[in-house]
Chain A
Amino acid sequence: MNLVFQTIAPAELHQEMLRLRQEKKMDFLVLLTAEDLGEEGFGVVYQLESTETGEQVNIKSVCPNREQPTLPTVSDIWDIAHIYEREAYDFFGIIFTGHPDMRRIYLREDWVGFPLRKDDKPEEQNPLKMDNAPLSDDTTCYELQPDGTLTSHKNTIFEPEDYVVNMGPQHPSTHGVLHFRVALNGERIKRVDPVLGYIHRGIEKMNESMTYPQMLALTDRMDYLGAMQNRHALCKVIEEAMGVEVSDRVKVIRTIMDELQRIDSHILYFSCLCQDLGATTAFLYGFRDREKVLDIFEETCGGRLILNYNTIGGVMADIHPNFVKRVKEFIPVMRKGLKEYHDIFTGNVIAHNRMEGVGVLSKEQVIKMGCTGGTGRASGWHNDLRKLRPYDAYDRVEFKEITFTEGDSFARYMVRMLEIEESLKIIEQLIDNIPEGNYQEKMKPIIKVPEGTFYAAVEGSRGQFGVFLESKGDKSPYRVHYRSTGLPLVYAMDTACRGNLIADLVTIGGTFDYVVPDIDR
């Protein structure tokens, strides 16, 4: 999808955004992307969507001052902008005035420079540091005075007398190298402050110096439980930009693969949640069944986690001759497995007591915080891109979009469990009639994307996974920005956990289903 912008000057930005929010009901900030425009300064692209009408508006605002770029914050309008603006500050040094928490998000607090600026030299300015990374208990808020000067004041995150427990970066239930600083009052949680960036690899920066086929290899390494879908999204944006139409066969294969990946991810979700809640046996049952999905992947794609399957204009290899047979064998096994999961865990009184009414998020809250995927659907937000904007073969299959209205941990859990069944149904409808056709369109030896700004999104395992691509017509992109599915979820942890017990943090984190490499990128 080629993005068309409406450019707004920084001075009017906040007012105009507020008007869009209130009058045009633009309640969902899909993505906020900052980019380096060279001489012109820094641009920030806001992609807005109305969850009622489905209308989309893209706003661009340019701050011409390269020395001290400032923009007014929109974090008071859309909650999720809190964390997106911190990301833009971290990488481009754009100061969002009025943002209550202008800290770096991924890089160390003592990092010098802003690495995604085209003229930044991160290696020279940041020799390898052997000391501990500082972690401050307060944060800076900048205000723009009428005379154009910036003033700042401190906001405290944790009071000196707070009992702050570090959950992570090495902790059994943070599902990776994630770090929560949790202020406790007895066992009750007063505040959660996520500290990100422990496995930040700078994929977006790396992509700027890679060719398009090379970029593909890194998408598998972001959300490793949505490798298929991530790569699908990137291929989709490049194909749409280049005007390549893939064959019907590829569309169906991609759909089946995406759904298998979703099943894989949701089984792991079940397993890890059980592990977090102490039901170790159910954890292994999940892994036992997931093995079968991984075998299907391995036979066709040659990998289990790093699948490396979608390519620009098709897929890496045609489906393996055994693929159809294996998938058909897998479907009944999975149904049996699901029954067992429900027996051992879903119906269990302890599991119910631990999940029901825990970490409730209302529909307004999930939209404001951009929590797409199962987390949003558990709160009653119909956000399934497979239904909203069907792509590939999703328009020719019948399936239900699972939604709940409770918005608690149990609803989030049930959304995933029922989605496995829907995914099985989708696969059943497609597996017998995979159309004939090329599995790979002919592409030029060197792939160049025409000049423009593009965005494409797919329904990943845990929400909308989008790719923002700015091309200058070269063989490498000018700016790539991924809409991480997990970042809004981690942001929502604070809201969902406050006032709950420390054991609920584990439950809520488990039901949110974030994957850390996807957040950190």
Chain B
Amino acid sequence: MFDFSVISQWLHTLLLSFLPEWATILVESVIVALVIITLYAVFAIVLIYMERKICGFFQCRLGPNRVGKWGLLQVFADVFKMLQKEIIKMRQTDRFLHDLAPFFVVTASMVTFACLPWNKGGHMIDFNIGIFFILAVSSVSVVGILLAGWGSNSKYPIIGAMRSGAQIISYELSIGLTMLTVICLTGTMQISEIVQQQSELGWNIFRGHLPMVIAFIIYLIAGNAECNRGPFDLPEAESELTAGYHTEYSGMHFGYFYLAEYLNLFISAGIATTVFLGGWAPLHISGLDGFNGVMDAVPGIVWFLGKTFFVVFLLMWERWTLPRLRIDNILTLEWKYLMPISMLNLVLMALLVAYGLYF
């Protein structure tokens, strides 16, 4: 399996050969930042196109098919349009908070994005408390949404923002509990470690069998709710609140919310891949050495992206099938179903680990 750290090590030594250490780290940071921003934009475009196509197919339509071959340039056209749009400044809004909000949302999702393990040795942020860090920074976006609702000084956005606050904070619990279940099995919070373990011992979802499958499903539901995507898109709820918390935004400020929404979808799928489906670890079936050899030949990044986009597809499938929940349904689902089940699940996992009943 190709180890990406070979390249990063080579780059590091190359830079050190003619730069002092502080400058090397500075240059490396700049490069990493540029890579994150570029990847962020690229994935946003891919995801928006994918969503529109898949949604079209579920709805008996073709989806975008006018701009470019199969509508491939549609998203570029949309982004170009959005960049040109005027950012409307309204009277009687809290201008500072109003303008600040989209950056909170976009920054939170960018930092989380940087935590994903792309390949063996290919991760940008890797702490020993990795998962904890992800949970912490991803919830910063709720601050952005609340600020957007408050700063707009308008009625629909404030309702949307309050809903979003209630929803994200509740679902954070389920996510935390499912993550605990995983940590219970892996014994580490470091993301690179978790994936490394899975590449050696098999994917967590197979290793931890029943409790892991339950945790995976709960994570998908809760992760979807965290990104405010349908059927949990209450903070936007276009048929009730027109556009919810970003009603009063225009131009690229709206664009940031839009980007963050799609990237959050990717990130939540990416985390699901990392902790349940083995991240960049290839599929191994014990005993079939030939098969495993072929699987190993496929680069890790392909594995990671393939699995992530599969999860993204699952989330889109569900988004385009189900009606939107109501605020009390959403809280009932969390507090009466997901939370108790994931708590029991955690206990079950702990028992399995204690008695060594896992693969």
Asked if A and B form a direct contact in the complex, defined as CB atoms under 8 angstroms apart, the reply is yes
A residues adjacent to B (C-beta < 8 A): 163, 165-166, 171-173, 184, 187, 274-282, 284-285, 288, 344-345, 348, 350-351, 353-354, 501-506
Known: A172-B242, A278-B237, A501-B328. 14 other contacts (CB 8 A): A166-B155, A171-B242, A172-B238, A275-B239, A278-B323, A279-B321, A280-B320, A281-B320, A348-B323, A354-B326, A501-B327, A502-B241, A503-B326, A505-B240
Interface string of B219-247 (1 = CB under 8 A from A): 00000000000110110011111100000
Q: Is B156 an interface residue (CB 8 A)?
A: yes
CA–CA, A351 to B231, complex, Å?
11
Min CB gap B158→A, angstroms: 9
Cβ contact within 8 Å between A284 and B324: no
Q: Which of B60, B240, B325 has the most CB of A within 10 A?
A: B240
CB pair A506 B323 closer than 8 Å: no
CB within 8 Å of A: which residues of B?
55, 58-61, 155-156, 159, 163, 230-231, 233-234, 237-242, 320-329
Report the bound CA distance from A336 to B20 in whole Å: 73
> Are B242 and A280 in contact (CB-based, < 8 A)?
no
Instruction: Return chain A residues, CB-CB under 8 Å to B59.
Output: 280-281, 284-285
In the complex, are the beta carbons of B323 and A274 less than 8 A apart?
Answer: yes
The CA of A503 and the CA of B240, in the complex, are separated in Å by 6
CA separation between A277 and B323, bound complex, in Å? 6
Most chain B C-beta atoms within 10 Å of own C-beta, residue among A276, A288, A350 = A350
CB closest residue in chain B, given A358: B326
- Contact present for B327 and A345 (CB under 8 Å): no
The distance from the CB of B327 to the nearest CB of chain A, in whole angstroms, is 6
Closest approach, in angstroms, between the C-beta of B203 and any C-beta of chain A?
A: 30
Q: Are B159 and A187 in contact (CB under 8 A)?
A: yes
- Does A350 contact B325, Cβ atoms closer than 8 Å? yes
Taken together as a complex, chains A and B put the C-alpha atoms of A281 and B324 apart, in Å, by 12
Query: Roughly how many angstroms separate A279 CA and B237 CA in the complex, as a whole number?
Result: 11
Instruction: Tell me the nearest residue of chain A to B243, going by C-beta.
Output: A172
Interface hub of A274, A278, A280 (most chain B Cβ within 10 A): A278
Chain A contact surface mostly: helix
A357 to chain B, nearest CB (A): 12
A279: contacting residue among B238, B241, B323, B326, CB under 8 A: B323
Q: State the CA gap A348–B230 with chains docked (Å).
A: 15
Q: Tell which of B59, B60, B61, B239 has the most Cβ of chain A within 10 Å.
A: B239
Which of B60, B237, B324, B327 lies at the interface centre, i.e. has the most chain A CB atoms within 10 A of its CB?
B324
- CB pair B233 A278 closer than 8 Å: yes
A350/B60 contact (C-beta < 8 A), A276-B239, A278-B233 known: no
Q: Identify which of A163, A171, A280, A288 gathers the most chain B CB atoms within 10 Å of its CB.
A: A280
**How far is A166 from B242 in the complex, measured between Cα atoms in Å?**
11
Structural contact, A351 and B239, CB atoms closer than 8 A: no
Q: How far is the CA of A276 from the CA of B238 in the complex (A)?
A: 8
Q: Which residues of B contact A277 (CB under 8 A)?
A: 239, 323-324
| Contact A354 B323, beta carbon cutoff 8 Å | yes
> Across the interface, do A353 and B329 meet the contact criterion of CB distance under 8 Å?
yes
> Given A281-B58, A350-B329, do A172 and B323 touch, yes or no (CB 8 Å)?
no
Using Cβ atoms and an 8 Å threshold, which residues of chain B touch A172?
238-239, 242
A285 B60 Cβ-Cβ under 8 A: yes
Closest 8 CB pairs of A and B: A278-B324, A279-B323, A284-B59, A277-B323, A173-B239, A503-B326, A276-B239, A350-B323
Measured in the bound complex, the distance between the Cα atoms of B158 and A165 in whole Å is 11
Instruction: Please measure, in the bound complex, the distance between the C-alpha atom of A166 and the C-alpha atom of B159, giving whole angstroms.
Output: 13
Whose C-beta in chain A lies nearest to the C-beta of B236?
A: A278
- Once the chains are docked, how many angstroms separate the CA of A282 from the CA of B231? 14
Measured CA separation A354–B58 after assembly (Å): 23
CA of A20 to CA of B15, assembled, Å: 98
Selected contact of B323 from candidates A171, A184, A345, CB within 8 Å: A345
Docked Cα-Cα span, A184 to B61, in Å, equals 39
> When the two chains form their complex, are residues B239 and A350 in contact, meaning their CB atoms are under 8 A apart?
no
Q: Can you name the residue of chain B whose Cβ is closest to the Cβ of A182?
A: B155
Chain A residues closer than 8 Å to B325, beta-carbon distance: 350, 353-354
A348 to B329, CA, bound (A): 13
Q: Smallest CB–CB gap between B340 and chain A, Å?
A: 18
Could you say which of A163, A184, A350 contacts B322, with CB atoms under 8 Å apart?
A: A350
Write the nearest CB–CB distance from B218 to chain A, whole angstroms.
17
Which of A275, A502, A503 has the most chain B CB within a 10 Å cutoff? A503
Task: Note all chain B residues with C-beta closer than 8 A to A163.
Answer: 155
| Complex-state Cα separation, A348 to B231, whole angstroms | 12
Nearest CB of chain B from residue A191's CB, rounded to whole Å:
15
A121 to B183, CA, bound (A): 80
| Chain B residue at smallest Cβ distance from A288 | B60
Complex contacts, A505 vs chain B, CB 8 Å? 240
Say whether, besides A172-B239, A173-B240, A278-B230, A503 and B327 are in contact (CB < 8 Å).
yes
> A179 CB to closest chain B CB, in angstroms?
14
Nearest residue (CB) in B for A279 is B323
Contacts of B230 in A (CB 8 A): 278
**Cβ-closest chain A residue relative to B61:** A284
Q: Which B residues are CB-close (under 8 A) to A503?
A: 234, 237, 240, 324, 326-327
**A187 touching B327, Cβ below 8 Å:** yes
CB-defined A-B contacts under 8 Å, sample of 22: A165-B155, A166-B155, A171-B242, A172-B239, A274-B323, A278-B324, A280-B59, A281-B58, A281-B59, A282-B323, A350-B322, A350-B324, A353-B326, A353-B329, A354-B326, A354-B329, A502-B159, A502-B241, A503-B237, A503-B324, A504-B326, A505-B240
Whole-angstrom CA separation of A502 from B326 in the bound complex: 9
For the complex formed, measure the closest distance between the CB of A44 and the CB atoms of chain B, giving whole angstroms: 39
Q: Cβ of B241: which chain A residues have Cβ within 8 Å of it? A: 502
Complex interface: chain B residues within 8 A of A284 (CB): 59-61
Residue numbers in B under 8 Å from A171 (CB-CB): 242
Which A residue sits closest to B59, measured CB to CB? A284
Is the CB–CB distance between A501 and B323 below 8 Å? no
A165→B156 CA distance, assembly (Å)? 8
A74 to B174, CA, bound (A): 57
- Once the chains are docked, how many angstroms separate the CA of A277 from the CA of B61? 21
Give Cα A354 to B59, complex, Å: 23
Complex alpha-carbon distance, A262 and B324, angstroms: 27
Which of B242, B321, B322 counts the most chain A CB atoms within 10 A? B322
A277–B58 Cα distance when bound, in Å, is: 18
Question: Which single residue of chain A is at the shortest CB-CB distance from B232?
Answer: A278
Task: Tell me the complex Cα distance, A172–B156, Å.
Answer: 13
| Cross-chain contact A350 with B240 (CB below 8 angstroms) | no
Q: Report yes or no: A506 in contact with B239, Cβ–Cβ below 8 A.
A: yes
Instruction: Please measure, in the bound complex, the distance between the C-alpha atom of A165 and the C-alpha atom of B324, giving whole angstroms.
Output: 21
The smallest beta-carbon distance between A180 and chain B, in angstroms, is 12
Complex contact B320–A278 (CB within 8 A): no
Q: Chain A residues near B159: list those with CB within 8 A.
A: 165, 184, 187, 502
- Chain B residues whose CB sits within 8 angstroms of the CB of A279 once the complex forms: 321-324
- Scoring B156, B233, B326 by chain A CB atoms within 10 A of each residue's CB, the highest score goes to B326
Instruction: Please give the distance in Å from A396's CB to the nearest CB on chain B.
Output: 38
Report the bound CA distance from A166 to B321 in whole Å.
30
A504 to B156, CA, bound (A): 16
Query: Which residues of chain A are within 8 angstroms of B234 by Cβ–Cβ distance?
Result: 503
What is the CB-to-nearest-CB distance from A279 to chain B, in angstroms, rounded to a whole number? Answer: 4
Closest chain A residue, CB of each to CB of B238: A172
A278–B329 Cα gap in the complex (Å)?
Answer: 14
Chain A nearest Cβ from B96, distance in angstroms: 25
Q: B61, B231, B238, B242: which contacts A350 (Cβ < 8 A)?
A: B231
Q: Which residues of B contact A276 (CB under 8 A)?
A: 239
Is B321 within 8 A of A281, CB to CB?
yes
Q: How far is the CB of B178 from chain A (nearest CB, A)?
A: 22
Most buried by B among A166, A171, A275, A288: A171
